[in-house]
Amino acid sequence: MSTSQPARSWVTCANDHPDFALQNLPFGVFSRQGLAKRGGVAIGDCIFDLQAALDASLFNGVARLAAEAACRGQLNDFFALGPSSRQALRSELLHLLDEASPQRERLQAMGSTLLVAQSECQMHLPAQVGDYTDFYVGIHHAMNVGKLFRPDNPLLPNYKYVPIAYHGRASTLCVSGTAVKRPGGQTLAPGAEVPSFGPSKRLDYELEVGVWMGPGNEAGEPIDIGQAHEHIAGFCLLNDWSARDLQAWEYQPLGPFLSKSFATSISPWVVTAEALAPFRSPQPKRPEGDPRPLDYLFDERDQQQGALDIELEVLLLTAQMKDHGLAPQRLALSNTLNMYWTVAQMVTHHSVNGCKLQPGDLFGTGTLSGPQAGQFGSLLEMTEGGKHAVELPSGETRKFLEAGDEVILKARCRRGGQVSIGFGECRGVVVG
Ligand code: CA
């Protein structure tokens, strides 16, 4: 398999597509104009309509059951099935969409009944999210932000033992393309003794990866680290919009609250664990002197292949840049290898006290910054808390986000001998 040419699709726009080659096949929920939401699979610039495929009896056995679960207006039931059903459906999709598929002519004849242009569709949140938890596993972000708030003690002593997280707000998760309204709130102006109320003056983004939960566990029954990967359904991009001035005033002693809960944007396509399998990596070695994870968080196989090698990018497009036809400006290029904890460790830690995880729950990784300039996943880090402005090709400068600014997150996987796949985009324009 590894020595042969990579498979190509008869959906020719998929071949060499930057995001959605045949090897990706991410799941999502879409609607055509005026029609109900339904499940589909991205292939090139098109969406493969799972209901249309079921109507044409294209799937058999376990794959058919999985497609029935995935064709609804949310993917929760599909996530609940777990890896073997997902793999069965993926395997049949790979076969059907391969350029050598015996069904090719029949499928091509179905035209836009089966394959609809993404440009003609609206994308929706992929699942109904019961709970959303935001972690803090990007150690460089934790260091950079810690230095701003506590110069003498940037990393608190629990960080290297506990995958730190807080409970976010599922109700304000929104899909890419949704405008984000600037929040109002309490802030304490520098030198002031009492707070005032008004619109946030320090609105920021956070570059994160979202993790979709699969089957999950019963309350009181923790997920063992060795089985944690079976509970991970897929991945997306996530922008944890953050009002830094609200955050600085409210975050102690219990952590972020209104500074984060006004909006969290995610990309619509769920890139499966199977599609990401060729881009697994050993978990990067901890620096000399760091503790070994406690036993319940340590699994040899997870250490060998539990990390992901995904390139992450943040771009900014201001209203003025858009008006002048300028391209979005890259603000950061980072990678998921900057995670101090693996996704399996996040799952196991979250459930170790008996907390119930459910299909369609969403985790954020936390901001995934790299150690150097050009790799910072938030403006807070780029501008060192608003000390320096970022210069843009329009001549404008930014310390924090202004009205009309559009933040665009992208992600892609590249590796020698593998077909590259991407996540699509997570976009949001700031209003007000
Ligand atoms: Ca965050």
pLDDT in tens, 235-252: 999 999 999 999 999 998
Rounded Cα distance between 400 and 408, Å, is: 15
Provide mean pLDDT across the span 191-203: 97
| Percent over 90 (pLDDT), the chain | 96
Res 1 pLDDT > 60: no
Q: Give, as residue ranges, everything with CB less than 5 Å from ion ligand 1.
A: 134, 206, 240
Distance of CA 241 from the midpoint of ligand 1 (Å):
8
**Predicted pLDDT of residue 149:** 80
Res 123 pLDDT > 60: yes
Burial class (CB in 10 A: 0-12, 13-18, 19+), 317: buried
Provide mean pLDDT across the span 94-100: 98
Rounded Cα distance between 154 and 144, Å, is: 8
Q: Where are the domains of the chain?
A: 12-124, 132-431
Distance of CA 378 from the midpoint of ligand 1 (Å):
10
**Predicted pLDDT of residue 153:** 85
Distance of CA 351 from the midpoint of ligand 1 (Å):
20
Res 92 pLDDT > 70: yes
What helix, strand, coil percent values describe the chain, rounded to 5? 25, 25, 45
pLDDT tier, 3 (very low <50, low <70, confident <90, very high otherwise):
low
Distance of CA 269 from the midpoint of ligand 1 (Å):
20
What does the mean pLDDT of the chain come to?
A: 97
Its CATH class, for the domain covering 12-124, is mainly beta
**Predicted pLDDT of residue 4:** 73
Architecture in CATH of 132-431: Alpha-Beta Complex (3.90)
Provide mean pLDDT across the span 208-212: 98
Provide mean pLDDT across the span 211-215: 98
Do residues 123 and 176 lie in contact, with contact meaning Cβ atoms separated by under 8 Å? yes
Provide mean pLDDT across the span 61-82: 98
- Closest of 343, 327, 111 to residue 233, by C-alpha: 343
Phi, psi of 79 (to 5 degrees): -60, -35
Provide mean pLDDT across the span 338-353: 98
Provide mean pLDDT across the span 370-395: 97
pLDDT in tens, 310-337: 999 999 999 999 999 999 999 999 999 9
pTM, rounded to two decimals? 0.97
Q: Which residues are catalytic?
A: 141
Amino acid identity at 277: A
Greatest CA separation for the chain? 74
